[in-house]
Amino acid sequence: MIRINNNFNRLSESYLFSTIGRRVREFEESNPNVRIIKMGIGDVTLPLCSAAVHELVIASQEQGSITSFCGYGPEQGHQFLIEAIIENDYLPRGIKLHNNEVFISDGAKSDIGNIGDILSVDNVVAVTDPVYPVYYDTNVMAGRRIIKLPCLETDNFIPHLPKEIPNIIYLCYPNNPTGIAMTRDQLAVWVDFARQNKSLILFDSAYEAYITSNDVPHSIYEIDGARECAIEFRSFSKTAGFTGLRCGYTIVPLELKAIDADGHMASLNALWRRRQTTKFNGASYVVQRAATAVLSGKGRQQVRQCIDYYMHNAEILRRGLAEVGLSSYGGIDSPYLWVKAPGGMSSWEFFDRLLTDCHVVGTPGVGFGDAGEGFLRLTAFNSCENTLEAVNRLKSFSI
Q: Under the rule (CB under 6 A), what is the footprint of ligand PLP? A: 42, 107-109, 132, 172, 176, 204, 206, 235, 237, 243, 248
CA distances from 152 to 6, 157, 269 (A): 33, 5, 35
Nearest to 75 by CA among 377, 235, 280: 280
Residue 248 or 320: the one with the smaller Cβ distance to ligand PLP is 248
Show Cβ contacts of residue 63 under 8 Å, excluding neighbours closer than 6 positions: 69, 70, 285, 286
Q: How far is the CB of 87 from ligand PLP (least distance, A)?
A: 21
Helix (H, G, I), strand (E, B) or coil at 133: helix
Residue 173 beta carbon to ligand PLP: minimum distance, rounded to whole angstroms: 9
Residue 101 sits at φ, ψ, to 5 deg, of -100, -5
Q: How far is the CB of 292 from ligand PLP (least distance, A)?
A: 16
Nearer to ligand PLP, 132 or 375 (CB): 132
Beta carbon nearer to ligand PLP, 166 or 177: 177
d(CA 384, CA 191): 38
Which lies closer to ligand PLP via its Cβ, residue 52 or residue 326? 52
- Residue number with CB closer to ligand PLP (129 or 204): 204
Complex with ligand PLP: residue 113 or 342, whichever CB lies closer: 113
Q: How far is CA 274 from CA 267, 271, 281, 355, in A?
A: 11, 5, 12, 49
> Minimum distance from CB of 296 to ligand PLP (Å)?
20
Cis peptide before 174 (omega within 30 of 0): yes
End-to-end CA distance of the chain: 57
Q: Between residues 206 and 311, which has the closer beta carbon with respect to ligand PLP?
A: 206
The least distance separating ligand PLP from the CB of residue 177, rounded to whole angstroms, comes to: 8
DSSP symbols for 268-305: HHHHHHHHHHHH---S-HHHHHHHHHHTSHHHHHHHHH
List all residues 6 or more positions away from 12 whose beta carbon is below 8 Å from its beta carbon: none
Q: Determine which helix (DSSP H) or strand (DSSP E) holds 202, and give its type and residue range.
A: strand 200-204
* Nearest distance from C-beta of residue 340 to ligand PLP, angstroms: 21
| Shortest spacing between CB 233 and ligand PLP, in angstroms | 7
